[in-house]
Chain A
């Protein structure tokens, strides 16, 4: 097990390196001049532009800029944001807690909702319960986040007034978490449902029933545990997605977060911030995957790592 973990962690370094190099290359190759974008297209004189270019180190040749970035990143120094001059680590540190909050609550709602709906549908397939659950799942997957957000804001925020829209305190997480988690609910519900239906046809389930176990025991003890494998894999993927990708939810609900930060930084070509965030998101995915692999080991005694 430990050797397996060590091997996995050893692979993270090259993966991170490859991801950030790709990001660096793509950023520099796509059209758009950071200095120009920073100035929002204002008619700044040549001297203003040259000053800015020098200040940001953009007048140096590309390989030199790359080497500079890699050497400093290895030491944890990601430079300063082009937009504000703040150290990038500080910029990200300010935005990260809100993203983690949203990711956490969204993930919880997604998993809880998805499992609930999926189990109900899986246990009572082709019934009204199944129909309702799958309808909700379909809506969760297909409705664009922006539209769901607007609907929820209008109905629950404005008309009914039950929850705040952009105010303060913990309740302000409610609407964004539902929007954020709706995609996960949809995906997980369908996956859990088909997993359970598959598993219920298995021999060992018939054996358990033949032994005289109550149905509830059959489901909870045997069917569910085995049905969860594909679900765990999906959860790993979702976790990575959640950490990186809340930009629409963050923008609509006027929240802090790394999703919106990433998009803004790409549009304004704020290289240091984008590179640091790519690194962060890649690391999140890798971490999530390792976690999933470990969970497999826990859930399935047949899986041995060595």
Chain B
């Protein structure tokens, strides 16, 4: 953990950082908390194991936690929703909206000493779309990518086949479209690079012991942090260790004991205890993207009846259920994207308030009469809804109780991922769970575009199995609208459309509770509120 030695290098490094920081008055004031101990090491407890550390290949937000300390993107999207220069100093859209030209910084170096330049950007994007790489996330994130042109040693133009509204947002993603060192990839090969990543970030890779830990150390050459950070030179921490501890109870115990300093995904039941304690605190991120929601199968009875779907949505008291299960750590959700996602339409909060009387009325209208045992019946058959759960069985049991109140029998079945996938592809369910961490509203394509209806052999996420040309048109329109105001209007329409037809029942915003020892300061959530950036972190 902490190493008491203060080497001359880190002293000089610390002094250089202090000199840079001391040049502005406001930075002088925050100097005390920004410095901390220049030799400090912090250990982060991670809840899932890694398979790759290559940003071009990964699709895991857990691997992202390590990757985003070592790699950087062309622009920085802060949690305030604004773009800031990062590896690119400025950028400009072409008139037809299909290209963006970036002017790059000239003073950036990769961890292996080679220079960052236009060639590196082109190499990164071109290799992402190369089938030999086997990219799992980045390739879809590049959208309708066509090519990248090198216009000068530090000028690139990225081209798409059609206007891509999510371009800037996606390019700002530091763990999917961040820039890799071409020299390192050529030297190590793709598989080798995945285990020995080389980027431009404030931390560089030291070692990876599979299933146990990833170790990173401070990049002493780092001087190109986005202006968003008060700090501008090398990181304060000398060493950053990611210790993989899959079991939540063990992870929390390790935090309490001091074997780790920061803990990923603290269970809600522990959050209050840590927040009130003297030595620890918890910061809770409200994750953007799609909240934990129920997708309702519009093709299978009884949920093929709109009235039944709507009754289900009116029957459940979201704030109460969420409070019961998450002790106030997660907030209820009312729309297909969370309030922290750009394009969120507040109008969703007025739709489907808790109204059991309305639910009962709708079910009566649909011909479902209350039978013996309180469960409704029609033509001798009970109102049974088959619910498959993988992500949050505790929540679904609470929902089951609420549904029973209005006469719906919710059959909750807990399944493994493999079983869930099979059932989804073969339409053997009425309701399934979904949630998605995302920063751009184009995430709405995933559950609502008609081409995403699953079929045997084709695993996709339109589990409500609803496809209409009109919804497709709206989604495509939003994806291509580069003008923010226009896009906002289209997105509002989409959110209302989806809820009008009761395709999805949003339940709660996903919470990312990060537990940490109070001596660790200046932890910052990355865009999306799932991962944490350690660049400015200090240990006092």
Residues of A within 8 A of B (CB): 30-33, 36-45, 47-48, 51-52, 54-55, 83-86, 91, 94-95, 150, 153-154, 157-158, 161, 164-167, 251-257, 260-261, 264, 267, 269
| 26 A–B contacts, CB within 8 A, in A order | A30-B418, A37-B417, A37-B421, A40-B59, A42-B59, A42-B136, A43-B460, A44-B59, A44-B140, A48-B136, A48-B139, A48-B140, A55-B132, A84-B52, A85-B191, A150-B249, A153-B253, A158-B257, A164-B259, A166-B245, A166-B250, A251-B246, A254-B246, A254-B250, A256-B211, A267-B417
Chain B residues numbered 157-209 whose CB sits less than 8 Å from any CB in chain A: 190-191, 194-195, 209
Cβ contact within 8 Å between A166 and B259:
yes
Cβ contact within 8 Å between B459 and A36:
yes
Q: Report the separation of the CA atoms of residues A86 and B254 in the bound assembly, to the nearest whole angstrom.
A: 30
Chain B min CB distance to A32 (Å): 3
Chain B residues positioned under 8 Å from A86 (CB to CB): 191, 195
Q: Report the separation of the CA atoms of residues A157 and B460 in the bound assembly, to the nearest whole angstrom.
A: 45
Cβ contact within 8 Å between A161 and B257:
yes
Considering only CB atoms, which chain B residue lies closest to A80 in the complex? B191
9 tightest A-B contacts by CB? A32-B418, A254-B245, A51-B131, A31-B422, A85-B191, A83-B51, A36-B459, A84-B51, A42-B59
Chain A residues positioned under 8 Å from B212 (CB to CB): 254-256
Considering only CB atoms, which chain A residue lies closest to B449 in the complex? A43
Q: Is B371 an interface residue (CB 8 A)?
A: no
Considering only CB atoms, which chain B residue lies closest to A257 in the complex? B211
Q: Mark B249-266, 1 if CB is under 8 A from A, else 0.
A: 111011011011000000
Once A37-B421, A39-B59, A158-B253 are accepted as A-B contacts, the answer to whether A167 and B259 lie under 8 Å apart by CB is yes
Chain B min CB distance to A226 (Å): 44
Q: Report the separation of the CA atoms of residues A256 and B243 in the bound assembly, to the nearest whole angstrom.
A: 12
Q: Report the separation of the CA atoms of residues A158 and B258 in the bound assembly, to the nearest whole angstrom.
A: 10
Q: Is B60 an interface residue (CB 8 A)?
A: yes
Q: Is B389 an interface residue (CB 8 A)?
A: no
Chain A min CB distance to B502 (Å): 22
Q: Is B221 an interface residue (CB 8 A)?
A: no
Cβ contact within 8 Å between A44 and B136:
yes
Q: Is B247 an interface residue (CB 8 A)?
A: yes
Chain A residues positioned under 8 Å from B257 (CB to CB): 157-158, 161, 164-165
Q: Mark B431-464, 1 if CB is under 8 A from A, else 0.
A: 0000000000000001000001000000111000
Q: Is B346 an interface residue (CB 8 A)?
A: no
Chain A residues positioned under 8 Å from B137 (CB to CB): 42, 44
Considering only CB atoms, which chain B residue lies closest to A81 in the complex? B51
Chain A residues positioned under 8 Å from B211 (CB to CB): 95, 256-257, 260-261
Cβ contact within 8 Å between B422 and A254:
no
Residue of A40, A43, A48, A84 with most partner-chain B CB within 10 A: A43
Chain B residues positioned under 8 Å from A251 (CB to CB): 246-247
Chain B residues positioned under 8 Å from A260 (CB to CB): 211
Cβ contact within 8 Å between B210 and A267:
no
Q: Report the separation of the CA atoms of residues A95 and B132 in the bound assembly, to the nearest whole angstrom.
A: 28
Cβ contact within 8 Å between A153 and B417:
no
Chain A residues positioned under 8 Å from B247 (CB to CB): 251-252, 254
Cβ contact within 8 Å between B244 and A154:
no
Chain B residues numbered 231-282 whose CB sits less than 8 Å from any CB in chain A: 243-247, 249-251, 253-254, 256-257, 259-260
Q: Is B319 an interface residue (CB 8 A)?
A: no
Once A48-B140, A269-B418 are accepted as A-B contacts, the answer to whether A94 and B210 lie under 8 Å apart by CB is yes
Cβ contact within 8 Å between B259 and A91:
no
Cβ contact within 8 Å between B253 and A157:
yes
Cβ contact within 8 Å between A158 and B417:
no
